[in-house]
Homo-oligomer: A and B are copies of this chain.
Amino acid sequence: MAGKEVYLDNSAATRLDERVLEAMKPCFFENYAVATSEFGYSQGLEARELLGEARGRIAAFLGAAPEEFIFTSGSTESSNLALKGVAKALGGKKGKHIIVSRIEDFPVLHSAQALEKQGFEVDYLEVDGQGFVRLDRLKELLREDTILVSVQHGNQEIGTVQDIQAIGEICREKGVLFHTDATHTFTRIPLDVRDIHVDLVTVSAHTIHGPKGIGGLYVRKGTSIAKVTDGGYQEFDLRPGIENIPGAVGFAEAVGLVSEEENGRLKSLRNAIIGAVFERIPLVTLNGDAESRLPQNANITFHLVEGESVTLHLDMYGIAVSTGSACFSRSLEASHVIMAIGGDHERAHGSIRFTFGRYNTMEEVDRVVDALARIITELRKISPLGKTGGVQDGISL
């Protein structure tokens, strides 16, 4: 996508928490064993205990039993396993129909497309102008042969948080499995599988100052799913490969370090940047819903400018900026998310995503907004877009 991402200050939004590294260290050195063993082997047992504890802590955070949570290498693998694993288990039995939202991140979207090539039928559920999936439309699309609905919890670009409680109820009524990609909401927005009828949940560690290369999938007990990667019998025979115990322990630590207070603080930063931008810069649009939104995300279109130019200039001010979503390097294509909520290419290319993390401060927000105000003014003076008009008004909060 062509939406640009701004991490406020160097690595502050994403870097590993030192406490996570401290928690991982014993697994690197004293307990760097293989956890698979069944008998004997004191050291292997210690490693298994560490893995089991990490699993239990993360599962408990979701309201799940330890055996309902498996570790993977990250969100991409988790979502691939969810979609393809259910397709493999039920494709020859219940049916070959799958529903995913149009604004899913690439692991879900492209897995669905891969399944289409294998003979599955996929409906891409529409969203409204704020990015909410249309629940009435979901009800219409559900069929006897529908095996899975995959709708994300919070959007990777525009931050809109879906009503997964309602989606889960609709799926449950029809007896259809429900997967949600909670990569960006996990620990930031409550999700308890005892309250919400969801069968599969994708989560990741690196989005919450945990290690890279580790993620997980919640799999409700009794869910029909087959493994899609072949090898050993690890992770309840759903995900083969030597267990990444340091990663698992770091992931659990990262989960434990997120607090309600922190999520509130992120929300303040988010609201501050949106408020200040709308106050100081004309012709801007907030992408995504203002209320039901990731605490760490703001996404704003600055009309009459190219996001590319804005981010290049921000970079000169020392403000870390990413072009393209994390999963996408072909940044000349327009964001499928902005297009799905009714945006055009101009809006997509002028959109910038701001991502906040534990180490960001209100001073950084001020600094970014100051820089933005200057940059946007300058760019608009020289913008060819400015002369062609046809631009929406900014939405004030």
Chain A interface (Cβ within 8 Å of chain B)?
A: 4, 7, 10-11, 14-16, 18, 21, 25, 28-34, 36-44, 73-77, 79-80, 105-107, 110-111, 113-114, 206, 211-214, 229-234, 240-247, 308, 311-312, 314-315, 320-331
Contacts and interface: CB of A to CB of B under 8 A. Distances in A.
Nearest to A207: B242
A7 B34 CA distance: 10
Contacts of A322: 33-34, 36-37, 41, 44
8 contacts: A37-B322, A41-B311, A73-B74, A73-B77, A107-B231, A110-B230, A212-B243, A232-B328
Contacts of A113: 230
Nearest to A212: B244
A76 B327 contact: no
Given A73-B73, A229-B76, A10 B30 contact: yes
Number of copies: 2
A186 to B, nearest CB: 15
Nearest 7 A/B pairs, CB to CB: A232-B327, A73-B73, A213-B244, A76-B241, A110-B230, A107-B231, A15-B32
Contact of A329 (B18, B75, B234, B329): B234
A106 B79 CA distance: 23
Nearest to A10: B43
B329 A246 contact: no
A114 B241 CA distance: 16
A324 B76 contact: no
A75 B213 CA distance: 14
B230 A111 contact: yes
Contacts of A36: 322, 324, 326-329
Given A7-B43, A15-B32, 9 more contacts: A37-B322, A37-B324, A38-B331, A39-B311, A41-B320, A73-B213, A77-B229, A110-B240, A113-B230
A315 B42 contact: yes
Contacts of A7: 33, 43
A21 B26 CA distance: 12
Contacts of A326: 34, 36, 232, 242
A40 B18 CA distance: 28
Given A36-B324, A41-B321, A76 B232 contact: yes
A243 B233 CA distance: 26
A233 B76 CA distance: 11
A319 to B, nearest CB: 10
